[in-house]
Copies of this chain bind each other. A is one copy, B any other.
């Protein structure tokens, strides 16, 4: 891994990086193969040499978005209890998603399609193992954590761009009181993480008896 200096290995990563910039600047609906090709000074068909289809491209972009979390060394969480690990991982995931426009929508779909791995699962499992928590429990906690966080930030980001477009739609259909539900600040997010962590704590103390 030290022999190759810079063997003209352009492209695949460059394409994903440019896609990420386009995403952040113009949003997911405008992240088209044609716009991306134009930004790269290339024909649309050229992109299909690097990626088999658009979804694979988007998966690569998702991986870039989640990279700070994937690269986070497990040792940085070593000192934490399981409860705190849940909260920290959730907050970090939210940070990653809030870094780029429409990131949560993109990641949500890549995640559901199984084209990208869970961004918190490996770390949470490792920390939990060190505290003697059975994997079955931390698997479930990881799933609750990632689904809630992505869904929450999805909502957060959609309202953000909707507001910036001046689109305030009157909720006509079912619940006229859901303007109240739109109180989605970072504070209620933190509360939710605590609730999830509490739920895991209870599961742990129920399933594994203490060493007394």
Contact = CB atoms under 8 A, between A and B. Distances in A.
A141 B59 contact: no
Interface stretch (A33-41, A42-50, A72-80, A147-155): A147-155
Nearest to A191: B140
Interface residues of A, number: 59
Q: How many copies does the complex hold?
A: 2
A18 interface: no
Contacts of A148: 143-144, 147-148, 151
Contacts of A188: 139-140, 143
A63 B173 contact: yes
A84 interface: no
A198 interface: yes
A21 interface: no
Given A148-B147, A191-B140, A196-B144, A108 B174 contact: no
Contact of A192 (B144, B182, B197): B144
Interface in A63-102: 63, 66, 70
A173 B140 contact: no
B181 A121 contact: yes
Given A108-B154, A151-B151, A140 B195 contact: yes
A158 interface: yes
A112 B199 contact: no
Contact of A181 (B105, B118, B144, B155): B118
9 closest Cβ contacts across the A-B interface? A147-B151, A199-B199, A117-B175, A195-B199, A198-B202, A117-B178, A198-B199, A112-B158, A147-B148
